[in-house]
Amino acid sequence: MTNDTTTTPEDTTAESTITDSTTAGAPGRAATPGREHRQITLPEDRYATELAFLAAHDPGPRPPGWLLTPRAVVTFVTGSAGEALGLPKDATPGAGVPRRLVIEQKFVGERALVERCVVTLAGERGLLLVGEPGTAKSMLSELLSVAVCGTSALTVQGTAGTTEDQLKYGWNYALLLAQGPTEQALVPSPVLTAMTRGAVARVEEVTRCLPEVQDALVSLLSERRIAVPELAGSEGAQVHAAPGFTLIATANLRDKGVSEMSAALKRRFNFETVGPIGDVDAEAALVRRQSRAAVERAGAPYQVDDAVLEALVTAFRDLREGRSAEGWEVERPSTVMSTAEAVSVAGSLGLAAAYFPGDRDVLSLLPGHLLGVVRKDDPADAARLLGYWDGPVRRRAEQGSATWRALWDLRAVLEN
């Protein structure tokens, strides 16, 4: 990927949960919410065993406030390459932590990119992950924050409606009216909470925030404190960042012109570009793994064969890069043909095969799903997909590929 990435995380956990025995499993009735009933499991829950294992595996020096060593953080994100790591003989892990464990690869990409991110955080400097949509910037920021401070939840979602209060603090108005401005009435933002804990805060889509909201980050990252003028005269008038505090922000290149970051704010961040997955086999393996997990979470068998997934990933890569693997020119659609979208399409094909078995060949559904992705930004891009069919798809069919011949025969789907 130049700097390669992954996409949507697989969300499963083996942790025990709280359920209501009177409703669990009853058709049409919801069980009491617990971890096993969440659509998405937080990485701190899902990877709790790995985090505890790595903390015991590498007892080396840690930056202030860190749960793991920088080397262990990189291993947590990139995996142990299939190798089972062992704990030192004198290590005393907690209950349920094995003495040997293979660390799962969570981010498909260059280890050097992850190492640079970790060094930035170890220096308590802001980290900005930039790239096209769907290249796992948010996932990487989650994994880094979990490995550093144990939580990914101290997050502000940037939008045009995000206010400065959401980056600093608000008030419990009932207490404010009853007691006046007191520390008990103050409601800290996720960023303020991270500052007091010495943890990592996350700001998603920072360039979607209005410039005056972004400006609040400038002083925050420079002075490492937040003033609360309403509490003037008390100890809470200035909230100082504890050692270990830092901030990870993400920004889509497609949103670059929405609210351009000021030069002052840019100087407070180290920039890292997260690009699409460079290796076709790695991308295909990721799409297979993630889509299989999504279908199996729905309780359905996964019935998308490798030939269909290979054609899906190949089409996405051709359209994304503007050139086929054979070197044929392809007109790129305006939509970002991201790995995340490929996972979504593969998951939809898997669910169609599971819930409508025998109705039609799974491959026959691929053109319609591709059309839906391509037309997201501009309906006129449907013509570009048709041009792709008349180019690489037709040529591969003429070369004798049964899969591409079947896709070529489905061209009429794109005309309708």
pLDDT in tens, 158-191: 999 999 999 999 999 999 999 999 889 999 999 9
Looking at the fold, whether 323 and 237 belong to one and the same domain comes out as: no
Looking at the fold, whether 241 and 300 belong to one and the same domain comes out as: no
Looking at the fold, whether 258 and 383 belong to one and the same domain comes out as: no
Domain C-terminal end among 273, 294, 321:
273
Task: Read off the pTM.
Answer: 0.85
Looking at the fold, whether 98 and 142 belong to one and the same domain comes out as: yes
Q: For residue 359, is it within any domain?
A: yes
Q: For residue 15, is it within any domain?
A: no
**Residues 165, 171, 173, 176: what is their CA dihedral angle, to the nearest 10 degrees?**
-140
Q: For residue 156, is it within any domain?
A: yes
Residue 258 is predicted with a pLDDT of 78
Which phi and psi (to 5°) does residue 84 adopt?
-80, 115
Domains: count for the chain: 2
CATH number, residue 43? 3.40.50.300
Q: 72 and 54 in contact (C-beta within 8 Å)?
A: yes
Burial of 310 (0-12, 13-18, 19+ CB in 10 A): middle
Residue 95 is predicted with a pLDDT of 87
Looking at the fold, whether 269 and 322 belong to one and the same domain comes out as: no
C-alpha span between 227 and 284 (Å, rounded): 50
Q: Report the chain (416 residues): mean pLDDT per 10 consecutive residues.
A: 40 33 36 60 94 95 96 97 93 89 94 97 96 92 98 95 92 93 92 96 95 91 91 76 96 80 93 92 94 91 94 96 94 92 95 87 95 91 95 95 95 88
300 closest CA partner among 354, 349, 347: 354
Strands in 246-252's sheet, in edge-to-edge order, are 155-157, 200-204, 246-252, 126-131, 269-273
C-alpha span between 142 and 126 (Å, rounded): 15
Q: For residue 340, is it within any domain?
A: yes
The 8 Å CB, 24+ separation contacts for 116-121 are 116/270, 116/272, 117/144, 117/272, 118/70, 118/73, 118/74, 118/144, 119/70, 120/270, 120/272, 121/63, 121/148, 121/200, 121/246, 121/248
Looking at the fold, whether 265 and 342 belong to one and the same domain comes out as: no
Domain C-terminal end among 273, 306, 336:
273
Residue 323 is predicted with a pLDDT of 94
Encoded tokens for 125: 């400097």
58 closest CA partner among 71, 76, 74: 71
Looking at the fold, whether 222 and 304 belong to one and the same domain comes out as: no
Looking at the fold, whether 158 and 198 belong to one and the same domain comes out as: yes
pLDDT tens track for 121-143: 999 999 999 999 889 999 999 99
Domain C-terminal end among 217, 241, 273:
273
Cα 64-69-70 angle, rounded to 5 deg:
95
Residue 359 is predicted with a pLDDT of 74
Residue 257 is predicted with a pLDDT of 64
Residue 201 is predicted with a pLDDT of 97
Residue with tokens 């970790």: 118
**Across the strands, what pairs with 127?**
248, 270
pLDDT tens track for 282-307: 999 999 999 999 999 888 999 999 99
Residue 384 is predicted with a pLDDT of 95
Q: For residue 29, is it within any domain?
A: no
Listing DSSP states for 13-61 in one string gives --S-----TTTTT-TT-PPPP-GGG-SS--HHHHTHHHHHHHHHH--S-
Q: What is the mean pLDDT of the chain?
A: 88
Looking at the fold, whether 55 and 179 belong to one and the same domain comes out as: yes
Looking at the fold, whether 195 and 59 belong to one and the same domain comes out as: yes
Looking at the fold, whether 225 and 328 belong to one and the same domain comes out as: no
Residue with tokens 């990870």: 248
Q: For residue 287, is it within any domain?
A: yes
DSSP tag of 129: E
Q: For residue 124, is it within any domain?
A: yes
Q: For residue 212, is it within any domain?
A: yes
202 closest CA partner among 269, 157, 135: 157
Encoded tokens for 139: 């996932």
Query: Percentage of the chain with pLDDT > 90?
Result: 74
Looking at the fold, whether 305 and 233 belong to one and the same domain comes out as: no
Q: Whole-angstrom distance between the N-terminal and C-terminal Cα of the chain?
A: 36
Strand intervals (E) in 219-279: 225-227, 238-240, 246-252, 269-273
Domain that holds residue 186: 35-273
